[in-house]
Structure 1
Amino acid sequence: MSRPEILFPLFADLETLDGVGPKTAQNLGQLGVATPRDLLFTLPHSGVDRALRDTIQGAVFPITLTVKVKVGTHQPSRNRGGAYRIHVEDSTTSFLLVFFHGRSDYLNKVLPEGAERVVSGRVEMFDGIANMVHPDHIVPVEEAGDIPRFEPTYPLTGGVTQKTMFKATRSALTRMPVLEEWIDPGQVEQANWIGFDVAMAKAHAPTQQDDLAVTDPSRTRLAYDELLAHQLTLALARASERRTSGQISLGTERLQARVRADLPYKATGAQDRAIAEIAADMAEPTRMNRLLQGDVGAGKTLVAFMALLIAVEAGGQGVMMAPTEILARQHLEGLQPLAESAGVVLDILTGRDKGAERRAKLAALAAGDIQILVGTHAVFQADVEFRDLRLGVVDEQHRFGVRQRLALGKKGAAADVLVMTATPIPRSLALAQYGDMDVSVLDEKPPGRKPIKTALVSTGRMDEVVARLQAVMAEGRQCYWVCPLVEESEIVDLTAAEERFKHLRAALGEGCVGLVHGQMPPAEKDAAMARFQAGETGVLVATTVIEVGVNVPNATIMVIERAETFGLAQLHQLRGRVGRGDAASTCLLMYQVPLSDAGQKRLEVLRETEDGFVIAETDLAMRGFGDLIGTAQSGVPRFNIADLEKQGALMSVAQSDARKLLQDDPKLTSQRGKAARVLLWLMRQDEAIRLISVG
């Protein structure tokens, strides 16, 4: 499939635009602009009010002003490159026009003494006199209408001026074809949106400051076009994945009922709902691709285990994978009692399994004697074969790429996939990142979880905190002490952690303080964690490597040093390491004074709520989209116009619009479907176009 002809003008060479030569075209590349289309998607970010005024008097300098002046005497500069000054008068006062490297012949022609001109530019005070240095516009009075009343300001890069951008975008706008509407007619009518071409022209010709806001109707329409193209791509990926035939795994509820009967508590409504959604997916002949999102302690393990039991009830096997050996062993401990209630065979496979022991496990897997396997990446090795793998549960999405999800699928002829994440993600982000998946959210806490008390303490009260740890340890309880991330440099982090370790060891006693950090060999790290899990050490000093998910029910205090340097989501995750047993737990957020307003607000949000979703939304609002996900999580698209913080709600409208369009017209052959194909080409979603042509 090739790009539709109607879009050719927008994907032509930049040099076909007015005022763009080879050098400018090369410079525009720095802004990510390679075609007229890219230029159109580079909207002005601010604007300059150039409405004509009578006088500069009374203005607050520095400011850009447009006034009619009478030209007075010229004062050429005495040395080369010095200031050439021209005295001018408006209706009330006088000021200077200043030109560096000014040439007399040129300036006498443009600003002849005694003539009237309209000038527009930035006016600043210098030695008590108002100066307009290098006016942006100098025109005869009758041409004053040529100066835009409100001039858009574009992002620039070396070698590209505002004038060049203005001229080039005007030229690109003349290439704008009239395109068929790709948005659902009901949505267009309800939002009262204008057509794409009109919206684009208006977005480049703001007439006032309000036209530059995210909420401006033309900009909202263009943002929606971007989000719709993105959601169409994800919906096509989802549809193509759904066409991959899976296996029908019908649960009988026989084993699940045994587990429910043995549980000391009743499952929450959210857990029951998630289990029902998973069971319905697994009963379908297409592959399940579902994300299970739950806050710390929302009971994901139970839901995942019930899903694994459905695979077993249907006569197959299930596997649960964790990113590290520690977490895999922990899953094993958590699932063991449930497996005993259900009467199923559960085993673990990690890199540690060697020789005869490993061979025996592989044989049992291939024969179907091991019904549920817990493992690490070792599960992906070529010699690992299942008799009938029906479901793969993947813990902590960001450690397992899509590639591993696919590798898992190869182990079972189209095994269903359930991805679990303990990171509450704001809804707009979840849709951007996981829009190809179906999402189940656990938004209730199981009964009996005690709230964690969160307190803010300044680093000046360090001694009180250490005394508190002594008291808690005397009662046989344990504590975590998380050290700050000083720099991105691990060496500096290490020093901080080692210093704190020595200080606490001196205060609390030799044998009762352990240390884990990122520079340790994995075996040492595992050993230190194991000692803490076994209760041999009372305090564990750590950089943030206490992996998501470490489970030590006896730990009741979490101290986070320099808490203001951490992100909210990370603080929430760390706090979730305590409060896992039956004793009351506390999280102490230690901050260094003075605390910035933003820092204080962040820590107070944590003190006030334990709801990870509320915290995630606050984090998004405070830190912004780019910071929140960091560049590392490249799974999230970059949008030119759409702003996910402020337009998150548009994303969910785009998702249902895209899914409905594909449901009604899977091949995009209707009139609107064809328009949607043009949108995908326009938004450079070539991947998506390939998916249509394959499908």
Structure 2
Amino acid sequence: MKLNQPVNTIKGIGDELENDLNSLGIHTIKDMLEYFPYRYEDNELSNLEDVKHGDSVTLEGQVQNTPNVRYYGGKKSKLTARILVGRILINAVIFNRAFLKKSLTPGKTVTISGKWDQHRMTVTVDNIELSSFSNDRAIKPIYSLKEGIYQKQFRRFIESALLIGIDDMEELLPGFIQKKYKLYSKREAIQAIHFPKNHTQLKQARRRIVYEELLLFQLKMQALRKFERENSKGTAKQFSHEELKKMVGLLPFELTVSQHNVLKEILTDLRSPYRMNRLLQGDVGSGKTVIAAITLYAAVLAGYQGALMVPTEILAEQHMESLQQLLASHNISIALLTSSVKGKRREDILSRLKAGDIQIIVGTHSLIQEDVNFHHLGLVITDEQHRFGVNQRRALKSKGLSPDVLFMTATPIPRTLAITAFGDMDISAITELPAGRKPIETYWVKDSMLERVYGFLNKEIAAGRQAYVICPLIEESDKLDVQNVIDVHEEIVHHFPDFKVGLMHGRLTNEEKETVMRQFSENNIQILVSTTVVEVGVNVPNASLMIIYDAERFGLAQLHQLRGRVGRGSSQSYCILIANPKSEEGKERMRVMTETNDGFLLSEKDLKIRGPGDFFGQKQSGIPQFKVADLVHDYRALEVARDDAKQFIESESFWTEPAFEKLRHYLSNEEFIKGEKLD
């Protein structure tokens, strides 16, 4: 097959160039054809008399001098050349391409593209052609290339690759799908995404490739779900609906409509013969713990044990307390297992757990230690699941015979990311706060208003309430981070000599952090100065004020998580953002924070501002890298692809009819069906 031929089949690619192309992931003709442009330039010359400061320009001119090259910061370089464009002499500045000096000889005609600085009469060059302007194509593709490979040269390679391999390009999509969405064929799309004749053609090529990328990914996800369900038979749990109704009726508050809907989805999962694999999203304070309590009670009614795993000891203790209150009148045996539980007390819990005398166990990662055995584990709930590694979550699941699994998170995940990163799970979301909850009032102030902020802080503490003061974590240096917190801590101690001020940061041991948080939750500390380590933390209903220094350094999701530490009691709560953002993006984040308390709305805005890669951080591998598709801009295509994939995988025809043969073949080559399943 011509597509599998090595790239050195193309004329002009020798050993050195082949190595350079290999380093970009281009090994075959197919790789070359699927190495798409990252942007395009309209291929027409700019008239310097018409362009404005900051515009992108394309200019043709003659080099007037031997370029000057300056090196800085090690290997970085700045090349400056004088170029005569018509009768106007301009500067061309080219960064990190010092090797061009040899080619840019006086009198040489060049074509440059880049950003125009009207004041300095300078173009900061993105792209340079060592020749006259050529209007052979209206839209010019620009590729992400490494030093030593030129745009013009690479476009020539693409042309050769198209001649060699385009006829062998396999069509994966069934004809009826292409017809339904009026999509280009694969060959048309590949040809047009590299060399579009006009913007309409480019749009259609991109539309076809985006849909295919997202459909293939969603097919894997939906096939994985089907595979998981069929190969991990759960146990259909039979429990008394009346008993459960009675328990909900005895709660000291009414469930919201959203909580009722979520509960219905979870209870349906428990009754089904398939193992539950569900993610429960709910904003801070939306009432996920109550849902967890009702779900655990349902499992106990069905004759099973339930486990609730949380990231910290103090959180485990608070969940334990909540469960004891919520299930007080139901004669349920609940125990707590953390690293603090030692000796005879631990042995007693382990033997009762194994015998089945303990029906619900709450704990930290202590629950997954080897000597922890259950009598009949039927339900595992993990709170703040992203704080546990895949192996830790899997270890707890393995303690039972296909127990139902519910993951809970207070991090509102945008819909597109939820569909993508957790596509193999069912997703439920609590989208409203319980009745009577007062929205947190959020204010954005400048540094100059610090004295007024301190005055307000004094007023809240004097009224018997508590406050958090958060300083940003400066990533370049842990020492700087701690120093920053220590400085603020000293300042607060100096300002408020009559109150107890606590200090917390990432350099403390887990035991030290637990001690500080316990003192704060018991009101032995009135003001807690901390880095973001309190982000996912404990419930301190008496804390009514959150002050965040340098708030512009944080993303919206993180600011919202921090704000959610207050507003848990009956008092009106406040969040004060101290920020002097320089960028429009920073100002926009501050404005959005003061306008809404809706975590889901904030997460969508955050995704648009920061992009999907930064939303979960580098450690999250749940977000795939697509070649063309963009999860923010292509969210409608993602939803269509997800719905189509779901329908295909669940239909008999997908697994039997010739129209789907190529897609079936694609799936059968994917490792997840043969090997390790995703967690």
Give the stretch that moved more between structures: 254-263 or 579-588.
254-263
Give the match for residue 621 of structure 1. 608
Mapping 1:392-431, distance limit 5 Å: 392-431=380-419
AA partner of residue 22 (structure 2): G
Give the match for residue 690 of structure 1. 674
Give RMSD over aligned pairs. Answer: 3.7
Please identify the structure whose Cα radius of gyration is greater. 1
Q: 1:411 is paired with a residue of what secondary structure? A: coil
By how many angstroms is 1:31 displaced? 2.6
Give the match for residue 114 of structure 1. none
* 2:160 maps to 1:168: no
Q: 1:505 is paired with a residue of what secondary structure? A: helix
For the residues of structure 1 that align with 2:89 and 2:510, how far apart are their CA atoms? 72
Give the match for residue 307 of structure 2. 319
* 2:478 maps to 1:490: yes
Match of 1:207 among 167, 184, 197: 197
Residues 1:176 and 1:329: Cα distance change in structure 2 (over 3 Å): farther
By how many angstroms is 1:570 displaced? 0.5
Match of 2:357 among 355, 359, 369: 369
Mapping 1:41-56, distance limit 5 Å: 41-50=34-43
For the residues of structure 1 that align with 2:102 and 2:367, how far apart are their CA atoms? 72
By how many angstroms is 1:430 displaced? 0.7
For the residues of structure 2 that align with 1:314 and 1:298, how far apart are their CA atoms? 27
Q: Deviations over 1:631-662 (max 9, x none)?
A: 22122111111011100121121111112111
Q: 1:545 is paired with a residue of what secondary structure? A: helix
Q: Deviations over 1:18-71 (max 9, x none)?
A: 3322211211233333333333232223334446x8x9796759954689x9xx
Q: 2:37 is paired with a residue of what secondary structure? A: coil
Give the match for residue 248 of structure 1. 236
For the residues of structure 2 that align with 1:103 and 1:627, how far apart are their CA atoms? 40
By how many angstroms is 1:397 displaced? 2.1
Give the match for residue 319 of structure 2. 331
Give the match for residue 453 of structure 1. 441
Q: 2:611 is paired with a residue of what secondary structure? A: helix
Q: 2:380 is paired with a residue of what secondary structure? A: strand
* 2:6 maps to 1:22: no
Give the match for residue 198 of structure 1. 188
Residues 1:94 and 1:283: Cα distance change in structure 2 (over 3 Å): closer
Residues 1:136 and 1:664: Cα distance change in structure 2 (over 3 Å): same
For the residues of structure 1 that align with 2:274 and 2:518, how far apart are their CA atoms? 42
Is the CA contact (8 Å cut-off) linking 2:552 and 2:590 kept in structure 1? Answer: yes
By how many angstroms is 1:343 displaced? 2.4
Is the CA contact (8 Å cut-off) linking 1:256 and 1:342 kept in structure 2? Answer: no
By how many angstroms is 1:478 displaced? 0.7
Is the CA contact (8 Å cut-off) linking 1:46 and 1:209 kept in structure 2? Answer: no
Q: 1:175 is paired with a residue of what secondary structure? A: helix
Structure 1: stretches of 5+ with no match in the other structure: 1-7, 78-82, 112-118
Give the match for residue 462 of structure 2. 474
Match of 1:274 among 262, 265, 268: 262
For the residues of structure 2 that align with 1:656 and 1:458, how far apart are their CA atoms? 47
* 2:343 maps to 1:355: yes
Mapping 1:215-254, distance limit 5 Å: 216-243=203-230, 244-254=232-242
For the residues of structure 2 that align with 1:676 and 1:587, how far apart are their CA atoms? 51
Q: Deviations over 1:259-301 (max 9, x none)?
A: 3122222111111111111111111212110010111111111
Give the match for residue 634 of structure 1. 621
For the residues of structure 2 that align with 1:86 and 1:237, how far apart are their CA atoms? 59
AA partner of residue 395 (structure 2): A
Give the match for residue 28 of structure 2. 35
For the residues of structure 2 that align with 1:266 and 1:228, how far apart are their CA atoms? 41
Is the CA contact (8 Å cut-off) linking 1:10 and 1:37 kept in structure 2? Answer: yes
Give the match for residue 10 of structure 1. 3
Give the stretch that moved more between structures: 627-636 or 644-653.
627-636
Higher RCO by CA contacts (8 Å cutoff, separation 6 or greater): 1
For the residues of structure 2 that align with 1:395 and 1:475, how far apart are their CA atoms? 33
Match of 1:605 among 573, 592, 602: 592
Match of 1:159 among 145, 148, 173: 148
Q: Deviations over 1:377-431 (max 9, x none)?
A: 1111111111110110011121123323322221001011100011111111111
Give the match for residue 295 of structure 1. 283
Q: 1:28 is paired with a residue of what secondary structure? A: helix
For the residues of structure 2 that align with 1:401 and 1:355, how far apart are their CA atoms? 28
Q: Deviations over 1:148-171 (max 9, x none)?
A: 444322111122111331122223
For the residues of structure 2 that align with 1:48 and 1:447, how far apart are their CA atoms? 54
For the residues of structure 2 that align with 1:689 and 1:538, how far apart are their CA atoms? 55
For the residues of structure 1 that align with 2:285 and 2:241, how far apart are their CA atoms? 25
For the residues of structure 2 that align with 1:102 and 1:371, how far apart are their CA atoms? 78
Q: 1:285 is paired with a residue of what secondary structure? A: coil
For the residues of structure 2 that align with 1:423 and 1:103, how far apart are their CA atoms? 54
Give the match for residue 676 of structure 1. 663
Q: 1:192 is paired with a residue of what secondary structure? A: coil
Q: 2:235 is paired with a residue of what secondary structure? A: coil
For the residues of structure 2 that align with 1:439 and 1:485, how far apart are their CA atoms? 32
Q: 2:533 is paired with a residue of what secondary structure? A: coil
Give the stretch that moved more between structures: 55-64 or 236-245.
55-64
Q: Deviations over 1:315-360 (max 9, x none)?
A: 0011010011121112112211112133211111111121111110
Q: Deviations over 1:80-108 (max 9, x none)?
A: xxx999999xxx98999x9976899xx9x
